[in-house]
Amino acid sequence: MTNKEKAPSSPSTASSKPNPLIQRICGPNDTIPFEQIQPEDFLPALAHFKQVAEQNVQSIVANADPDFVSTIQALETSAEELNYVASVYYVLFSAHATEGIQKIAGEVSTFLAGFSSDITLNKELFEKVRAVHESKKGVENSEQQRLLDETYLDFVRNGASLQGADREALREIDQKLAALAPKFSEHLLKATNHFKLHITNREDLLGLPDMVMEQGAATAAAEGKEGWVFTLQYPDFMPFMTYAENAELRKKMYLAFRSRGMGEAAAAYGQPADTDNQPVVLEILRLREERARLLGFENHACYILEKRMARSPENVQSFLDRLVEVSLPAARKEQQELSDFAKELGYDSVQPYDIRFLAEKLKQKIHKFDSEELRPYFPLDRVMKGLFGTAEKLYGLSFKKLEGIEVYHPEVEVYSVSDSSGADVGLFYVDLFPRDTKKSGAWMTSFREQGLFRGEVRRPHIGIVCNFTRPGKDRPSLLSYDEVRTLFHEFGHALHGLLSRCTFSSLAGTNVYWDFVELPSQFMENWVRKKEGLDLFAAHYQTGEKIPADLVEKMQAAETFRAGWNFMTQLNYATLDMKFHTTPAAEIQDVEEFERKATERTNLVEDLPNTCFATGFGHIFAGGYSAGYYSYKWAEILEADAFELFEEKGLFDSDSASRFRGFILEKGNTEDPSVLYRNFRGRDPDPDALLRREGLLKSA
């Protein structure tokens, strides 16, 4: 071993029982043996497959005549089993993080970081890669050329050109960073699960929809308590902040949510002191900057954006400034309208915990529309049928629920996916309800990427994980409109993974530039905005009546309600992200204070003391969005422009759908995303498409 970390025990010394992560990895249709896997199986399996990978790398290095197949393709598949085991672990760490899974998070992450460093800092291996990059020997097509270029650049970006002490410094940084992201996630999950609002007085529930109260009563009963219990999970938190008349209880919920990860500073808000993410954030920022400078970049943002459509911090800032310029005046006007409305209701001022509540009241006044009116038309089983029906009409896909597939939790469902000819597309896992072992939010995950695995190009196993409203005692799960949009959003990511038609898994599916990856997901949300799309599934759960046209019209009219404010919220997060990663780390001493100063222009309401968004900003400190949160708005412009084609041709126009599938969903990272989009649309995207849709810019 060349790295300095302590190796996990070998399979033979760790346990006498067969390891399912080793024994059941073969076969084109094998699924993950979740019901047999124990947390103690992971480290021995990783150690075992690391040895396999090291032997494969030695064979590449020993080859005296390097070409594409013997070097680049061989390297692509050299650690495929190790990557498989790692993907299984991270599926569990995000969606079912039991105590045993959480316990080994740091060790797994540092182990994998050490292996990655072993590969990219292997001088002999890099020389083989460099030789093929210069000679292009054995390269026969554009996808192979893309893999060659990406492989070479990944080596350079991960220190292959460094010398001496710098190489070891980079290795040490990567080890430390690998341990910090799981620590951030663990703190956030613990803080989210720790706080629970227990209500025993029915008057304190005024304003809450019946279903939300029912949900709170069910939670209380499950915990052996009288009354109602509300958590910081989104199905509880969002309705509570939107509808609860009791401002003091809204404040209590808001402070608990907004102070997650603040440690002792948030103890007064009901948060545990041992979940402090502030030192974690500061250390991550310091190490990211140090790493970037070792590699020749001014800062972490410059490093990240070298492989993004935006290319540079200056381009991102220009992009954000353009959107702020358009949306800030509208947001200020909307906030003044909200303030005036609040005074009509007797409020002296608008506090952060009042905004959702007052905005909902104002929306109901202006548009005569309450988003809760939609919920009875969104029973989960019908929404799922509509989800699959949309994919069938657009892409000819069929979904069949499978029984007997091993899953990591009883609530997980598995579907086989086939195309119009009956050919296998892949497996689709669905996990939709919150629990204490699951991170908040929603995401798509890959159990097995599409592409080469053990000598064959195989179909993918893809999943989506969400935190939606549970069924009640006498009713099915009824989704909110936002939950339906979220489901379609994550399904868009899933289609990107399922429909991939690449040879190499590292280029397949969602393995694209991060400011391109949100295009398919945000694109799918559009089918929920249109009556023709809703008619596939939206029907009252009791009567079966289709969603009324006038209700859809009200919903559409309200879509652009407070569009400026909503824009500025996302721009505020993107601005904070870029400020964190372009400001010298030494100048960031206090996370809360830095956040306030960094967002002075984009944050329209002063937050309360000892609250902080950054300490719960998992996207950039425990996910893949560091120096990339702007990607949501960047990709939203792409999808708004893309959907205008369907508005012109028809919501289910087969030719347009075929082009989107062929040029976007199937191609992965086999070509530059700008080229892929241009091939699909026949031109570059119109940057004003999103602003037109949101009513922030008049149509030309």
Mean pLDDT to the nearest integer, 380-390:
98
Q: Of the residues 578, 598, 629, which one is the last residue of a structural domain?
A: 629
CA distances 681 to 2, 658, 676, 677, Å, are 49, 12, 9, 6
User: Could you tell me the two tokens for 306?
Assistant: 């070298």
Question: What CATH number corresponds to the domain at position 339?
Answer: 1.10.1370.10
Mean pLDDT is lowest, of 22-31, 166-175, 234-243, 332-341, for 22-31
pLDDT at 5 over 70: no
Residue with tokens 């295009």: 519
What percent of the chain is predicted at pLDDT more than 90? 95
pLDDT score of 25: 78
The answer to whether position 190 is within a domain reads no
The answer to whether position 332 is within a domain reads yes
- Whether 487 and 404 map to the same domain: the answer is yes
Quick: pLDDT tens for 586-615.
999 999 999 999 999 999 999 999 999 999
Question: What CATH number corresponds to the domain at position 538?
Answer: 1.10.1370.40
Q: Of the residues 228, 245, 275, which one is the last residue of a structural domain?
A: 275
- Whether 569 and 643 map to the same domain: the answer is no
- Whether 570 and 530 map to the same domain: the answer is no
The answer to whether position 688 is within a domain reads yes
Mean pLDDT to the nearest integer, 674-687:
97
- Kindly report the number of other CB atoms within 10 A of residue 399's CB atom: 19
Domains contained in the chain, number: 4
The answer to whether position 698 is within a domain reads no
- Whether 25 and 174 map to the same domain: the answer is yes
- Whether 24 and 169 map to the same domain: the answer is yes
- Kindly report the number of other CB atoms within 10 A of residue 499's CB atom: 27
Q: Which residue numbers are catalytic?
A: 490
The answer to whether position 6 is within a domain reads no
pLDDT at 68 over 90: yes
- Whether 613 and 644 map to the same domain: the answer is no
pLDDT score of 16: 65
Q: Domain containing 401: what range?
A: 376-561+632-693
The answer to whether position 189 is within a domain reads no
pLDDT at 15 over 60: no
- Give the burial class of 544: count Cβ atoms within 10 A of its Cβ; 0-12 exposed, 13-18 middle, 19 or more buried: exposed
Quick: pLDDT tens for 362-383.
999 999 999 999 999 999 999 9
The dihedral sign for the CA sequence 440, 442, 447, 448: negative
CA distances 437 to 91, 183, 417, Å, are 12, 15, 28
Quick: pLDDT tens for 277-295.
999 999 999 999 999 999 9
Burial 462-471 (b: 16+ CB within 10 A, else e): bbbbbbbbbe
- Whether 140 and 175 map to the same domain: the answer is yes
Task: Report, in angstroms and rounded to the nearest whole number, the Rg of the chain calculated over CA atoms.
Answer: 25
The answer to whether position 187 is within a domain reads no
Q: Return the HEC string of 306-366.
A: CCCCCCCHHHHHHHHHHHHHHHHHHHHHHHHHHHHHHHHCCCCCCCHHHHHHHHHHHHHHH
- Whether 140 and 256 map to the same domain: the answer is no
pLDDT grade for 30, boundaries at 50, 70 and 90: confident
The answer to whether position 614 is within a domain reads yes
CB half-sphere exposure, 286, CA atoms < 13 A: 14
Residue with tokens 């719960």: 616
User: Could you tell me the two tokens for 660?
Assistant: 């989107």
- Whether 603 and 681 map to the same domain: the answer is no
Distance in angstroms (rounded) separating the CA atoms of residues 439 and 456: 34
**Rounded mean pLDDT of the chain?**
95
- Give the burial class of 7: count Cβ atoms within 10 A of its Cβ; 0-12 exposed, 13-18 middle, 19 or more buried: middle
pLDDT at 26 over 70: no
- Whether 551 and 669 map to the same domain: the answer is yes
Cβ proximity of 454 and 27 under 8 Å: no
pLDDT grade for 313, boundaries at 50, 70 and 90: very high
Q: Of the residues 246, 275, 304, which one is the last residue of a structural domain?
A: 275
Residue with the larger pLDDT of the pair 5 and 256:
256
Cβ proximity of 261 and 612 under 8 Å: yes
Quick: pLDDT tens for 499-522.
999 999 999 999 999 999 999 999
CB half-sphere exposure, 527, CA atoms < 13 A: 30
- Whether 133 and 109 map to the same domain: the answer is yes
- Whether 522 and 614 map to the same domain: the answer is no
Quick: pLDDT tens for 140-181.
999 999 999 999 999 999 999 999 999 999 999 999 999 999
pLDDT grade for 344, boundaries at 50, 70 and 90: very high
Mean pLDDT to the nearest integer, 264-285:
95
